[in-house]
Every structure is written in C-alpha cells, then in structure tokens.
C-alpha cells in the first residue's frame, strides 16, 4: 500500500493549484490579445512600461499554462524535503517553483520584441512569417532535441537524481535547470502562440492542452510528433493560401 502523502507535499500541491486557478481566472475574465498585452501603440512608442506590462501578463499566462504539467516535478521535489525543517523545506520548494515561473515570465521579453516586429509588417508579410513559424515549430516537435527535453520533463525522478542540490540554493539551481528543459521542450509552441495565434484564448487553451498531454499522458512523445505533423500541415496550408493567417490570428469577439 503506498505511503500517504506528507502534509508539506499536500500543501505544495494545494498552493500550486491555487496559483494555477487564479491565473486561469484572470485569463478567462480578461482575454488578452497581442495588442492588449503590449499596448495598442507599442509599434510607434515602445517603452519599458509596455515591456513590463507584457512580461507581467505573459507571466500570468505561463503560470496558467505550464504549472499543471510541472506539478509532478515540484511535488516530488517537495517530497524529497521531508527530513528538512519546516522553514528550510518551504524555502527550498518556493525557490524551485519561483525560479521555474520566473524564467518562464522572463521569456516574455523576447516575445514582446517579436510582437513589435510583427506589428510593423504588412498583413501579407505576417501571413508568410506565420507559415514559416508553423512549419519550423512543427519540424522542431519532430526533432531529437524536442524528444530529449521532453524526456527530462516526463521523468521527475530521473531529473531529481541527475540534478540534485541541497538547500534553498539547490532549489534555485534545480528550478532553473527544470525551467531550461521545459523552455527547450515548449519554446516553439509559445512562438506559435504569439505569431500564429496572437495570444488568442482558443490558442492558449489548445497549446496548454498539448503541453500537458505530451508531458503527462502515456505516449507523450507520439503526441508531440502528432502535433508537429499538424503544425507542418497548417503551415503549408497558410503558405498556399495566405488569407488563412488572418483567420488563425482572429481573436474571439
């Protein structure tokens, strides 16, 4: 019979689930397009304030999308801290989770800069950029690098055994390492979200489901490959009919 979960582990799961729920509530109550997140006039007057608002909104979106698939990893890390004192345990787990979310939030800065570039393009140019991004993302989903990063994300025990560090500094280092693997696994899907989907809520939901499925479900490697093949096909369709790009980027009314 499996041992019951430690209270600290249960508290970790409860806290992360609460953060996830709050992030989703924010997204569902205030759907954000690329323009909303960066500021309507950002092409003409980009600023540090616009960049900060974008990165903050991106961080909320990443918490909603990425925390569900990170729960097994962070929960197992919390379980390894059972022998530590309450303060040391809480600090280490918080350092791991905060570093993981912090790196994902920071990835919003290059996304902001990409949005600036997109908004300076003509609609036809955006269509061909969209086609290229879809195909590149699809090819990446099929690549050995994707599979290598995905294996790390799908094996919390293997990751912890290979990257173990003690104390809160260890939590920082391990949270950073896990976030890097996670970014390596999912960066292409996030670029698709920005370029092809304009951060529309349907795209957020779809990509969040793909990320969770490929990391948590049996056969995740094949789920990644199937999504990659689909992206390549959609990208080819957009290249043939550039008008499809506008439909992909159309936010719900």
- pLDDT per 10-residue tile (average), the chain, 253 residues: 60 88 88 50 65 90 93 88 76 92 94 86 90 96 96 91 86 94 95 87 92 94 96 95 85 42
pTM over 0.85: yes
Between the two ends of the chain, the Cα-to-Cα distance in Å is 51
Kindly state whether residue 176 falls inside one of the protein's structural domains: yes
Residue 2 lies in a domain: no
Q: Quick one: which of 210, 30, 193 has its CA closest to 111?
A: 193
Q: What's the total number of domains in the chain?
A: 1
Name the token pair of 24.
């989703």
* Full domain range(s) for residue 194: 7-249
Residue 208 lies in a domain: yes
User: 212 in a domain, yes or no?
Assistant: yes
- Give the pLDDT score at 199: 79
């Amino acid at each position: 019979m499996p041992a019951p979960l430690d209270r600290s582990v249960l508290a970790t799961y409860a806290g992360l689930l609460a953060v996830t729920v709050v992030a989703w509530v924010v997204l569902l109550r205030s759907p954000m397009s690329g323009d909303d997140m960066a500021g309507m006039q950002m092409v003409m007057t980009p600023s540090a304030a616009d960049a900060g608002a974008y990165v903050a909104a991106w961080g909320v979106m990443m918490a909603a999308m990425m925390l569900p698939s990170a729960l097994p990893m962070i929960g197992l890390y919390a379980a390894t801290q059972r022998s530590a004192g309450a303060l040391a345990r809480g600090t280490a787990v918080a350092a791991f989770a905060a570093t993981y979310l912090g790196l994902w939030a920071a990835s919003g800065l290059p996304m902001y800069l990409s949005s600036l570039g997109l908004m300076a393009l003509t609609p036809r140019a955006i269509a061909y950029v969209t086609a290229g991004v879809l195909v590149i993302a699809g090819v990446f989903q099929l690549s050995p690098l994707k599979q290598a990063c995905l294996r790390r994300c799908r094996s919390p025990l293997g990751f912890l055994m290979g990257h173990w560090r003690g104390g809160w500094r260890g939590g920082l280092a391990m949270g950073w390492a896990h976030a890097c693997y996670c970014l390596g696994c999912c960066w292409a899907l996030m670029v698709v979200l920005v370029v092809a989907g304009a951060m529309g809520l349907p795209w957020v939901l779809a990509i969040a489901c793909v990320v969770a499925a490929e990391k948590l479900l049996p056969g995740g490697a094949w789920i990644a490959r199937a999504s990659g093949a689909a992206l390549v096909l959609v990208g080819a369709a957009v290249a043939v009919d550039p008008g499809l790009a506008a439909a992909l980027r159309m936010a719900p009314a």
